[in-house]
Structure 1
């Protein structure tokens, strides 16, 4: 069986020690646990700033580091979905302490203290994980105090493990977000990134690529008849989420944003480019 290099860390010169005996490499190493400390970090196909963006790693995400200081890049594997690629070394920090909460708003601001009138330190996206060490309150809001130093309004966070009851409603919050190949935040997102982050917020594990989502997420349906809210419709290299029996929500390059359109129109437009629907999947939710 040929291993997928996007999901298995191996090169001719270096490989994950867990793959010894399965792949050929000059050297095998155990991955060092680390965590993303940047708000969002690009995971690129090669260790260059102009290399293709395969996906994005979010603040607090756990990674295994196999090689560091490759001209400012680290070769890593993401713990959540197994994606392999190169992250900027400056975006990584220690694996501990472990985060306690996750961001549930599309984006939230991190203030230097419990005061919304102070200039924010920055922002973090939905799905980012933070460690809450206390709470505070002023006349404007209640805040979670997060490490290493900052405050986030408490309604934008939930304890890790708490699930959204409707992953489609999560996906709808990205309506109008610009299309970005490899993106998975409210600053830019692609079709499979939209499915993955929405599912994650509902406690549903989804692979990163649409082709793998088509094989592994939910159960296969016979066709596009009798669709319901939450069903996934697949084309070669593309996926969309049904809002109901007729309308499709998808991050797509035609609208260059996350948009809603009748499924029939999407099927006709994409078929005109030689790409028919390849599958429909229904997720087990609740």
Structure 2
């Protein structure tokens, strides 16, 4: 039996574990997962089944999840995107549906009919996934009859050429711990979302990203656009040899600033020195 495991990524708790963990994790009962998808614009994944529990991350419209348990309005799930485990509001979930397109704009509105003058039904964020049934002029029409501006979408398998350029589109977005959208995003969510748009799967949290992404670069080596700079609990991406782009809890926004200034401020504030630089081969 496993003595310990990462609670963030392992669907196991004191009373229940995923069936595929039988023989690895001790639990009084095991459950087969049930596939579902997110039907809200974004849904909060929380550490506990309570609206005031800490926000771990967000799941975006159309993303696939596996549900292992439901009780009192909360579903205990694992996200397909990055394996994160936690509680989503049950009302935010619906039947699975294969995606054909993704939102390529930073944010785009969904309309009830073929007119941008109508009141939108929701706003979807970069990376949301949709099933498009047909085109009507400038609009893409979803399988359930909603309308989106087609030029804000891209084929689900298409890839952005430059993940840093994607991250730069979030400049000045507010900081939100656990956030993944232009309404609020955190440091690792910024990196994960930008890489996903470029077709690179990345873990959700900065410590997991530091362990999984790229190859190490000496801390005193010349840096280049796309290098990831890590601290304990923080990550940013270089725009060029000297400029860091990151979702900063000090600024409470996505900012671009000289790396030397960020390093000095983080160290002075007790965040320590940078722990590593990782370079991706893209």
Q: Deviations over 1:113-132 (max 9, x none)?
A: 12111111111111000000
Q: Equivalences for 1:61-210 in 2 at 5 Å?
A: 61-68=63-70, 70-95=71-96, 97-137=97-137, 142-210=138-206
Whether 2:229 is the aligned partner of 1:233: answer yes
Q: What secondary structure does 1:251 align onto?
A: strand
2: CA distance, partners of 1:230 / 1:176? 19
User: 1:31: which partner in 2?
Assistant: 33
Per the normalisation by structure 1, the TM-score is 0.96
Contact 1:41 1:88 in 2 (8 A): yes
1: CA distance, partners of 2:92 / 2:214? 33
2: CA distance, partners of 1:161 / 1:123? 22
2: CA distance, partners of 1:79 / 1:117? 35
Offset at residue 271 of structure 1 (A):
1.1
2: CA distance, partners of 1:122 / 1:6? 29
Contact 1:16 1:30 in 2 (8 A): yes
Q: What secondary structure does 2:12 align onto?
A: coil
Offset at residue 64 of structure 1 (A):
0.4
Offset at residue 225 of structure 1 (A):
2.3
1: CA distance, partners of 2:177 / 2:17? 27
Of 260, 275, 279, 1:278 maps to 275
User: 1:48: which partner in 2?
Assistant: 50
1: CA distance, partners of 2:76 / 2:201? 23
Contact 1:224 1:280 in 2 (8 A): no
Offset at residue 273 of structure 1 (A):
2.5
Of 245, 264, 271, 2:241 maps to 245
Offset at residue 224 of structure 1 (A):
4.2
Q: What secondary structure does 1:204 align onto?
A: coil
Q: Over aligned residues, Cα RMSD in angstroms?
A: 0.8
Whether 2:7 is the aligned partner of 1:15: answer no
Which segments of 5 or more consecutive residues in structure 2 lack a partner in the other structure?
A: none
Q: Deviations over 1:205-247 (max 9, x none)?
A: 1100000100101111111421000000000100000000000
Offset at residue 167 of structure 1 (A):
0.2
Q: Deviations over 1:47-99 (max 9, x none)?
A: 0000000000000000000001x22100000011000000000000111x211
1: CA distance, partners of 2:220 / 2:5? 32
**What number of residue pairs does the alignment pair up?**
279
User: 1:220: which partner in 2?
Assistant: 216
1: CA distance, partners of 2:36 / 2:56? 20
